[in-house]
Structure 1
Amino acid sequence: MKRSVIAYLLILCLLVSCNNGGTKTVRSYSDGSEAWGYVEVRPKAHMFWWHYKSPYRVEDPSKPWPIILWLQGGPGASGVGIGNFQEVGPLDTFLKPRNSTWLKKADLLFVDSPVGSGYSFVEENQKDLYVKSDEEAAKDLTKLLQQLFNKNHTLNQSPLFIVAESYGGKIAVKLGLSVFDSVQSGKLKLHLGGVVLGDSWISPEDFVLSWGPLLNYVSRLDDKGLDLSNSLAEKIRKQIKNDEYVQATQTWMELENVISSKSNSVDFYNFLLDSEMDPVSLTTSEIKKENIIIKKYSRYLNDLRSSSDVDEGDLDTLMNGVIKKKLKIIPKDLRWGNNSGDVFTAMEGDFMRPTIEGVDELLAKGIDVTIYNGQLDVICSTSGTEAWVRKLKWEGIEEYKKIEREPLYCENDKATRGFTKSYKNLHFYWILGAGHFVPVDEPCVALKMVGEITKSPQL
């Protein structure tokens, strides 16, 4: 989490909005396949967005094609970089087509949020303009959505699904509530399809309490390590209870160090691996070479792959090299990813604050909430997620608990790839064989899941 630490728009609308409300959009291809730009969400605070129109888009008036807004974790990680090129976008870090891209099920809107993440920036390095809370981050995102959606009829008729990973889930909850209120008040024109929480940091207390027992059970911690972990987790629990969130964040860092030391550097994103071994980046072995796949994504390739900058497949090199050149509007002195630590520090006081009540509010308002979790994740473990779900006060939670899970399969594969269950507007997916980065570890079943969530029309 702390480590490695739209919207396609009609040309006419783009030209109008470029000079209105702080929105700056530089390019839209004639077929509307992608667009990107900045929105000044507050004076001197600029948020970057990048939207891909799906080549698989099906026009069906009775079932509009969905749009996914992807929110990265951190806080301070870049959705435009990580979510896009390492997880679900059309191209990987070698700029080769990704066969498992979520464009097969929806349009994709990536943002660098909060401001200071990725390509988003504040003018004159005014760090006091960084947000201090999830609610402030959600307000900025709501402003961005207003600029992108309100003036485009085609866009605001498509259901928007807010999909978040890791810490992004906390912000997604606040954003879902903000979007709902803004739509109700007439300030925002869009249809909210749902909020999707992937391995999300909703209840820090439940997660840290799960770490010791989980790692002891899978033999990464011995009993002494378990005792040390449980002791620090209990300290965090008390600090959270006393609203000592900055202190809880500091103890959380201490707990991570203890676990790393006593487990011989277990990977917090996948307990089967050692630290720094998680396969966040998709390799070329996952890419199918059929001509149809290349053709589908050639609109995003242009002449990018002719650059020597992509040979290594390194995300930092890619984002500060060929991608920055392609986008043209990134400030010359801005280095992608440099300010992520400042974003985390600014939000230190909110980092350990739980957001369970916000999930309850979403459910009570009738908003679809989907939770998915990778079996092998540690930092946002499945057992920790199940613990906070049991704390929900939503009126349907008791009936939800009684529902039997159904197995998940992928295409013609008979192997069990996960489980799922739903009651009313609450849905849960258990993804087997995956760590923190579900779309990377289990791309096939993740894509199937997204299709079920968005109900995207298919040919």
Structure 2
Amino acid sequence: MGLLVRPVALLIYCTTASLFFLTSSSAAAIAGGTPDGSEEWGYVQVRPKAHMFWWLYRSPQRVNNKGSTPWPTVLWLQGGPGASGVGYGNFMEIGPLDTNLKPRPSTWLSKADLLFVDELNGAMRWQWQDNPVGTGFSYVEGGDRTLLARTDAEAATDLTTLLSQLYRSNNTRLQGSPLYIVAESYGGKFAVTTALAALKAIHAGRLAASLAGVALGNSWISPEDSVLSWGPLLYQVSRLDENGLYLSDSLAQQIKAQVKAAQFLEAENTWQSLESIILEQANFIDFYNFLKDDSSSDANLEQQQRQRLLASLGQSRRRYSGYLSSKVTTEGGFEGIMNTVIRDKLRIIPKNVTWSEQSDDVFEALAGDFMKPRILEVDELLNLGLNVTIYSGQLDLICATKGTLDWIQKLKWDGLKNFTNSRRVPLYCSGGEAAGTQAFLKSYKNLKFYWILGAGHMVPIDNPCPALKMLGDIIQSPAQ
């Protein structure tokens, strides 16, 4: 389907979207929205010359039950790092429209209001010398890369500043809606640091929100444990032989030693080498679904070209967003959609800001944090009593289930033993037991773990039915 075919409602919104301004003592926001109030979007200046873009959807299934669970809001944090939540999470995974701009039957909007953001830790395509840089539609002025978030903590501060602006004193609708942070991939690291920053801001009276929980989907919480799981997993599913297993395990152990010595930049370089070895030994396996080959790699490349691809730093760094974009078959690709139809609808994107896929700048900005674990932060959230959910797609390699279960065992939380010993229960979806098991759940107190079968790294894309059922259970949505 080409770009010329799109929903009539979207065309109407492109021409009738309203614009309004929000102001506060700490930040200013320019915003727009649809006439019926079902969508709002805008910019918040989270730091001088740093502008973060947000997009909020109000659910048509919203239930206002004063005597029961209030209607929730989900803040979705994309991975990468540096991929656009406004683009990928919204149109490819859980938003109301898919990449063909058609209604998504499995949209998470049926269970909650949805808030997407483009974090200030990526880079956009350069159009001219003064083009801003950022992620998605977010940007910093003057092309100054020093203004990008350089640590997970800085990214969390930006997000908390944005939330404080959106949950301003006169926004009673958001204030009355419990907030859940749901993240994918590297977004999980942002989720736990943001949750801690948000709780502090709430306690200090700077954020008028009610944080109800965090969900970490196929998250890069412990890079060490993830990479240690790669070799054994691929050996068991016949994608590596003994030689490949030895080579991958040797580099994984090197990463473990480097992380222990706090040599995080060196560990990232070794991680790049390990990915290259895996691609070579497993014949370009798909890191996001180990039953497939990497669709971005041309099997007909000459050996010299293949070796250059294996050695390409940028290829590894952009694999996440490249994988998502490869799923779009519309004319002009996903960048074309975002820079035409969506840009026209929003009406407030600066002329010199162009939406594009993730680039190497994000890794350069976050290089010191990329291989750092965030297990202690998960522990802190659990000990504070916050509901923490972890979910994992069965077929993921990059954040394989085995690695995730291994870092969970490193938690110091006093409920860990009871969680580990608790019974795992099967979950079903459409068709019930006759359709087969779709997932498993284990829980104890404020920790839940979901095994999602038939899914790789992007659970909402690969197996949307149990993902939506899981969401309803996590957030206790009134719309069941």
TM-score, normalised via structure 2 length:
0.85
| DSSP 3-state at the match of 2:191 | helix
Q: Where does 1:55-204 land on structure 2 (aligned, <5 Å)?
A: 55-61=60-66, 62-115=68-121, 116-151=134-169, 152-204=171-223
2:459 is aligned, of 438, 445, 449, to: 438
Letter in 1 for 2:48: P
Instruction: Output the CA distance in 1 between the equivalents of 2:395 and 2:147.
Output: 37
| DSSP 3-state at the match of 2:428 | strand
Per-residue CA deviations over 1:312-360 (Å, capped at 9, x if unaligned) read 2721111122111211111212221266421221001100000000000
2:293 is aligned, of 250, 274, 288, to: 274
C-alpha change, 1:413 and 1:426, in structure 2 (3 Å) is same
Structure-2 residue corresponding to 1:11: none
- How far the C-alpha of 1:31 sits from its partner, in A, is 2.5
Q: Which runs of 5+ in 2 are unaligned?
A: 1-18, 122-133, 297-321
2:448 is aligned, of 427, 432, 435, to: 427
| DSSP 3-state at the match of 1:50 | strand
Output the aligned Cα RMSD: 1.9
Instruction: Output the CA distance in 2 between the equivalents of 1:397 and 1:446.
Output: 24
| DSSP 3-state at the match of 2:51 | strand
Instruction: Output the CA distance in 1 between the equivalents of 2:117 and 2:323.
Output: 22
| DSSP 3-state at the match of 1:267 | coil
Instruction: Output the CA distance in 2 between the equivalents of 1:136 and 1:280.
Output: 26
C-alpha change, 1:170 and 1:37, in structure 2 (3 Å) is same
Structure-1 residue corresponding to 2:274: 255
Per-residue CA deviations over 1:365-413 (Å, capped at 9, x if unaligned) read 0000000000000000000000000110001001111101000100323
- How far the C-alpha of 1:26 sits from its partner, in A, is 2.9
Percent of aligned pairs with the same amino acid: 56
Structure-2 residue corresponding to 1:294: none
C-alpha change, 1:410 and 1:214, in structure 2 (3 Å) is same
1:393 is aligned, of 393, 398, 412, to: 412
C-alpha change, 1:366 and 1:79, in structure 2 (3 Å) is same
Q: Is the 8 A contact 1:245 1:351 kept in 2?
A: yes
| DSSP 3-state at the match of 1:256 | helix
| DSSP 3-state at the match of 2:291 | strand
Structure-2 residue corresponding to 1:307: none
Instruction: Output the CA distance in 2 between the equivalents of 1:217 and 1:117.
Output: 38
| DSSP 3-state at the match of 1:419 | strand
Instruction: Output the CA distance in 2 between the equivalents of 1:114 and 1:380.
Output: 23
Structure-2 residue corresponding to 1:305: none
Letter in 2 for 1:324: R
C-alpha change, 1:371 and 1:313, in structure 2 (3 Å) is farther
Instruction: Output the CA distance in 1 between the equivalents of 2:120 and 2:191.
Output: 12
Between 147-156 and 69-78, report the one with greater CA deviation. Answer: 147-156
Structure-2 residue corresponding to 1:290: none
Q: Where does 1:214-233 land on structure 2 (aligned, <5 Å)?
A: 214-233=233-252
Letter in 2 for 1:228: L
C-alpha change, 1:253 and 1:311, in structure 2 (3 Å) is closer
C-alpha change, 1:367 and 1:19, in structure 2 (3 Å) is closer
Q: Is the 8 A contact 1:149 1:189 kept in 2?
A: yes
Q: Where does 1:19-38 land on structure 2 (aligned, <5 Å)?
A: 21-38=26-43
Letter in 1 for 2:111: K
Q: Is the 8 A contact 1:87 1:281 kept in 2?
A: no
Letter in 2 for 1:109: L
Q: Is the 8 A contact 2:184 2:218 kept in 1?
A: yes
Per-residue CA deviations over 1:70-122 (Å, capped at 9, x if unaligned) read 00001110000000000000001110000000001000000001341111111
- How far the C-alpha of 1:18 sits from its partner, in A, is 4.5
| DSSP 3-state at the match of 1:190 | coil
Between 246-255 and 150-159, report the one with greater CA deviation. Answer: 150-159
Letter in 1 for 2:478: P
Instruction: Output the CA distance in 2 between the equivalents of 1:407 and 1:174.
Output: 31
Instruction: Output the CA distance in 2 between the equivalents of 1:24 and 1:438.
Output: 33
Letter in 1 for 2:212: G
Q: Which runs of 5+ in 1 are unaligned?
A: 1-13, 285-309
C-alpha change, 1:400 and 1:53, in structure 2 (3 Å) is same
- How far the C-alpha of 1:194 sits from its partner, in A, is 0.1
Instruction: Output the CA distance in 2 between the equivalents of 1:260 and 1:455.
Output: 41
Structure-2 residue corresponding to 1:17: 22
1:325 is aligned, of 344, 368, 390, to: 344
| DSSP 3-state at the match of 1:321 | helix
Q: Where does 1:312-351 land on structure 2 (aligned, <5 Å)?
A: 312=331, 314-337=333-356, 340-351=359-370
Instruction: Output the CA distance in 2 between the equivalents of 1:204 and 1:279.
Output: 20
Instruction: Output the CA distance in 1 between the equivalents of 2:431 and 2:476.
Output: 20
Instruction: Output the CA distance in 1 between the equivalents of 2:333 and 2:29.
Output: 28
Q: Is the 8 A contact 1:269 1:435 kept in 2?
A: yes
| DSSP 3-state at the match of 1:410 | coil
| DSSP 3-state at the match of 2:265 | helix
- How far the C-alpha of 1:431 sits from its partner, in A, is 0.3
Q: How many residues align?
A: 421
